[in-house]
Amino acid sequence: MSLTYSSYLKIDELLAAQTPLSEGPEHDEMLFIIIHQVYELWFKSMIHELEYLQKNFETGDVPTSYATLKRVLTILKVQVGQIDVLETMSPLSFKSFRSRLESSSGFQSLQFRELEIVLGKRGPQALEIHHENPAGLAKLRRRMEEPSVYDSFIAFLNNRRGGVPQEVLNRDRTQPWTPSEAVEKLMVDAYQHDPEATQLCERMVDLDEGLQEWRYRHVKMVERTIGSKPGTGGSMGAEYLRTTLFQSLFPELWSVRTQF
Ligand code: HEM
């Protein structure tokens, strides 16, 4: 049988994957399922692109790094924009099927944690929630040992300009990033003398800011949908989510601004 649109894209499998649990079912549960599935597909795409970005940083390929970053940023904008769609669901409508979610929550999104780790978040907290999923946990642990996008970016800048000590370049990847004066100096130098690297620095800031923007939009959506109720995943809900705001994954790219 020749390849068709449907067989290539596995449309039948894709469209069979939305199974509302509420009686009726409640009208908005379909939107709720689809939007989460779409997010998971975009997370997959982002991780795929970020791996490619790291390869291009390693080989010092500026045009392809720039193009890849632009794609990642465009996907992120789409992800932030999708929150508007979910905000068309009223609190009462969400309440009509919320109990069916039991203790499931976006908290448990393995790909979201993987994305955070790939970008640069390290440390044991990200792993705790996945203790019931050994395969997922092992995957996150492996990711933690690999250089992050931030590590690869710093190595890229250092290959162009130098000055970062080996202990920073070969740091223990499993530990959270420790802010480094040498890295800040490297960035000052890049901004002052390397226009190509400057463009990449600015797009990296867009990426860090974009993720923070998603978090902000998510917490506001949570507030308007469930107020100050706890989350299905067992956290304090919006109160917990507010503690995750304004956290930078690329800190020197922000602190360097005070130097100019
Ligand atoms: C009505 C819609 C939504 C509500 C009420 C909601 C609520 C929450 C709450 C309360 C938490 C905190 C953890 C918990 O106790 O459950 C959370 C975490 C999370 N949610 Fe949502 N959420 C919604 C939609 C989404 C969507 C569409 C996504 C996209 C994948 C998403 C992804 C996440 C992620 C990744 C976390 C973990 C954030 C972190 O720990 O930094 N949520 N959500």
Q: Are 35 and 82 in contact (CB under 8 A)?
A: yes
Return the pLDDT at 35. Answer: 98
Please state the rounded mean pLDDT for residues 131-146.
91
In angstroms, the CA 145 to CA 206 distance is 25
pLDDT in tens, 204-232: 999 999 999 999 999 999 999 999 999 99
Ligand 1: does its nearest atom lie under 6 Å from the Cβ of 75?
Answer: no
Longest CA–CA span in the chain (Å) reads 64
Task: Please tell me the distance between residue 106's alpha carbon and the centre of ligand 1 in angstroms.
Answer: 4
Q: State the Cα–Cα distance between residues 199 and 160, nearest whole angstrom.
A: 14
Distance 35 CA to ligand 1 centre (A): 12
**Spacing, Cα 227 to ligand 1 middle (Å):** 13
Q: Quickly tell me which residue has 């480094």 as its tokens.
A: 180
Give the Cα separation of 41 and 38 in Å (integer): 5
Amino acid in the structure at residue 233? G
pLDDT at residue 256, rounded to an integer = 97
For atom 31 of ligand 1, the residue with the nearest CA is 106
Query: Tokens in use for 21?
Result: 């649990």
pLDDT of residue 125: 74
Question: Alpha-carbon distance 199 to 203, whole Å?
Answer: 6
pLDDT at 130: 77
Do 250 and 208 form a contact (C-beta atoms < 8 A)?
Answer: yes
Q: What domains are there in the chain, each with its CATH number?
A: 27-84+107-259 (1.20.58.480)
CA of 44 to the centre of ligand 1 (A): 17
Q: CA 172 → CA 81, 113, 177, 185, distances in Å?
A: 36, 19, 9, 21
Cβ of residue 106 lying under 6 Å from some atom of ligand 1: yes
* Averaged pLDDT, 42-59: 98
Any atom of ligand 1 within 6 Å of the Cβ of 231: yes
Contacts of residue 25, Cβ cutoff 8 Å, sequence gap at least 6: 97
Atom of ligand 1 nearest to the CA of 40: 30
pLDDT digits (tens, 9 = 90+) for 186-195: 999 999 999 9
CA 147 to ligand 1 center in whole angstroms: 27
Residue 212 in contact with ligand 1 by CB distance below 6 A: no
**Residue 4's CB: how many other CB atoms inside 10 A?**
9
Q: Whose CA is nearest to atom 32 of ligand 1?
A: 106
**What pLDDT is recorded for position 26?**
96
Cβ neighbours of residue 126 under 8 Å, at least 6 residues apart? 113, 116, 117, 140
Q: What is the DSSP string of 64-117?
A: HHHHHHHHHHHHHHHHHHHHHHHTTS-HHHHHHHHGGGTT--GGG-HHHHHHHH
**Which tens digit of pLDDT belongs to each residue from 151-170?**
999 999 999 999 999 999 99
Is the C-beta atom of 241 inside 6 A of ligand 1? yes
If you measure from the C-alpha of residue 199 to the centroid of ligand 1, how many angstroms do you get, rounded to a whole number? 33
Range name among 49-63, 78-92, 128-142, 231-245 with the lowest pLDDT average: 128-142
Cα 241 to ligand 1 centroid, rounded to whole Å: 8
Q: How far apart are CA 44 and CA 48, in angstroms?
A: 6
What pLDDT does 1 receive?
Answer: 85
Query: Which tokens is 230 given?
Result: 């706890």
Which atom from ligand 1 is nearest to the alpha carbon of 241?
12
Number of other residues whose CB lies within 10 A of the CB of residue 72: 23
pLDDT reading at 196 higher than 90: yes
Contacts of 56 (CB under 8 A, 6+ apart): 64, 65, 68
